[in-house]
Structure 1
């Protein structure tokens, strides 16, 4: 059945009115704006939509249409899903009772869209999926009339996600009827009664594996298109990182750059990160941070460091130290205060400062 739904023209909107507010409506607008070749026409389309110059809208499978106030016939085509794709989509909807309830409540769950994408069923349009056509003389893609129609359609999608499903080829009645014909998942066998399960008590956990256990390298056979040596390094890196997290309790997430430095320091990879590797070997994430960034420590921390520096020279006055933020310099030596509360030594190599050893709590021990 070639279903179609008609919607009355939107009246003029108040100043500051927004378009889509639901996440799937915003995805529709993003597809429109990413496809556009002219931001000026988009701006005109937004104004045209808000001033009520688009007539009644008709939504049918693969087609969004309206006649504008200027008497232009405006259409936006959306690719319909195949019968096989619809079957895969219905499988995803029927797999979870909450999906059906959400759709009937006019909601489009994130996990349903993600599950559909995993099943190769694209519900939400992306760049190039919206094909505008208009009888106006403007060659824009889209023109302001088609852009206005798409912006107003985001209001329809906000209110009812079945509008999106109709554009993809099926109306609400067909979908509900198809879901009712599907077999329900087999009932799971009865389990242990709750009272019996609680009466069993909690069994003891097994002993954890020793943290100093050596990692056995993966023994992988060569395979076409697979860099086996690189895979061994990655597996060893993951094991090393897991052991480090277990022993240190430091659960900070590493950036891509930090992880490259860690791997280079651990496995001796030549990635052109010499100073960063030295910093990592002396202080890990915090050592790398003091190498790459400057910051202003709290005054009480600097005052404590000054007191330690003065006491480190006993009966003689301490030398004059050039202080800048967390970096204190004395001739060819420098210490940098880390966010972990330790001072890191640096030595000059040419025009650059290089990490020169493990950190200390007392800066005088490094500058003396």
Structure 2
């Protein structure tokens, strides 16, 4: 396929002449199936065509950028995501030297790089130096762990569209894929720029007080550097030379959900990118909970009164492990027994299925929900008895064992928690009450396989309704 997918460059997210648009031209030029491109684009944009993903915030999650590649996990119809990847060639040492020398010879452009910006103007500069900075259609090679052998499959296409948005947000990612980190590029531009200074050149005239006269025409020639200091350093020194500070802006509104982490590069000797993304995602969840004064053991969906709860309570190692498994975007889901999930369970000496069941209980009600799973207890007279009566009044027959009410004909159960809420459970063994022979009274028994399912509620009828068992 030599054309581009409809609307790929016309979208506001990828205006013509942008990093993202250039990437999409190359990706779509390398594709052989427009139908897979369309499906991949829907995967990459969860708000488009009603697409939703298991990750809850888009099909493409936790992208990782390294030398010569970008990869991510893409959620499809299965619970486990697929590993999609795009590979591209890196620039040779000769090409990097030619490109950065051309940049350093242009002071305004070099100053932008040293200030942390990467303007699109570097593309024609690289081209003038004989270096093709942007990839072409023949440079990109897709790969995916799914059984589809399309070129690309919809999962790799989703990653490709997500990479286009990523490049518009942080074009330095492209240089990393081409073989150099942002720090290495800036260091080389600084070295080459300093080397371009002519020590024998006439120093600028000074006004009274020894202040150099400002050159006309802006930053030209060696004016990028003040002595041997980059222009960015000089500007920062001037900005902090006064104690006058403008008033702080108003705080940003609290986001609806904690954002997923950004891109962590794969660099030699650096920490594992997946581990960094895991810790950053957890830090985002905890930060949002702290701002909203909602305990991290809950989903933080509804802000509560500040001071009502400790948003960051002290947790045991087991409780904190369960919290991680329950709240991390890459670990949520019933019985999601990935390699990372299994490793998390082994770190506390537990079975992965045991951790998955505990995580489901934590999502119902934090530590209170986990306590309901782990131990039965005898509730005092009051709310528990009123709940039983309400169910009986609706003709719902339930057997009782301590704080547990089990339906007589259906594989559902309600458990009364110490927090006064009702927690719904479902038997995943596939056997009915008659087959269980009454051994369902033990939540950890061999005959029944009770799993926390659905939200807890203060009313038992509402909790049961959440399971669709009215």
Fold match by TM threshold 0.5:
no
Report TM bin, short chain.
Answer: 0.3 to 0.5
> Bigger relative contact order, structure 1 or 2, given CA contacts below 8 A and separation 6+?
1
Larger Rg: 1
- TM-score (ref. length: structure 2): 0.35
TM-score (norm 1): 0.45
